[in-house]
Amino acid sequence: MWFLAVMFVIVWMTKLVYRWTNPRCNGKLPPGSMGLPLLGESFQFFKPVSSFDIHPFIKDRVKRYGKIFKTSLVGCPVIVSTDPDFSHFIFQQEGNSLELWYSDSFMKLIGQHKLTTSTGTIHKYLRNMIMDQFGPEKQKEKVLLEIEDMALLFASFETVALAITLAINFISDHSSVLEDLK
């Protein structure tokens, strides 16, 4: 009897692990590994790295599965894209056929009503408002104004320096002028 119970538990656990690693979907999912149930591949992803290069987790998965792959991070199945064209397409589709989503732990960490967690029209409004103040055009204006100010400042320095140099040369050549000033 115990033998049957143990076999049942083993078969049940095997089925759970299989379902976790091969989730059902209506479409076709990209290749990848879902890792352990509940943990996924979080340990490999959050492992500290002392390099400014692309994280080894991403490099390994791109080498193994390609530029688009599935994985599980913090217990949530995700699809990761390192392809710029596909990512651009995804960002253009936000609100139409796709929905931007963040994990609960990320939302708790960052906050509910931030630019990074806003979606749809709110995100576009906030992004445009920020770009108006800090975007490339505004930065170009500020930099040009600062360059003009610096050019005027340096021009005045050159004039003052030139005037001082000429005055010193004149006084050294005509020492009688100093005697007249006394």
Per-residue pLDDT of the chain (182 residues; tens, 9 = 90+): 788 888 888 888 888 777 766 666 666 778 777 777 667 777 788 888 887 888 888 898 899 988 988 888 877 788 888 888 888 887 777 666 666 666 676 667 666 666 555 566 666 776 777 778 777 888 888 878 877 877 776 677 667 777 677 677 777 776 765 665 55
Say how far apart CA 123 and CA 126 lie, in whole Å: 5
**Residue ranges of domains in the chain:** 2-92, 138-181
The answer to whether 35 and 77 are in contact (CB under 8 A) is no
- Name the nearest CA neighbour of 69 among 50, 83, 55: 83
Token digits of residue 5: 């119970």
Residue written as token pair 């770009």: 131
Q: Return d(Cα 175, Cα 172) in angstroms, integer.
A: 6
If one counts every other C-beta atom within 10 angstroms of the C-beta of residue 35, the result is 20
Which runs of consecutive H residues, i.e. helices, occur in 22-119? 42-45, 56-65, 84-92, 104-110
Query: In the prediction, which pLDDT does 122 show?
Result: 66
Quote the pTM value.
0.47
Residues composing the chain: 182
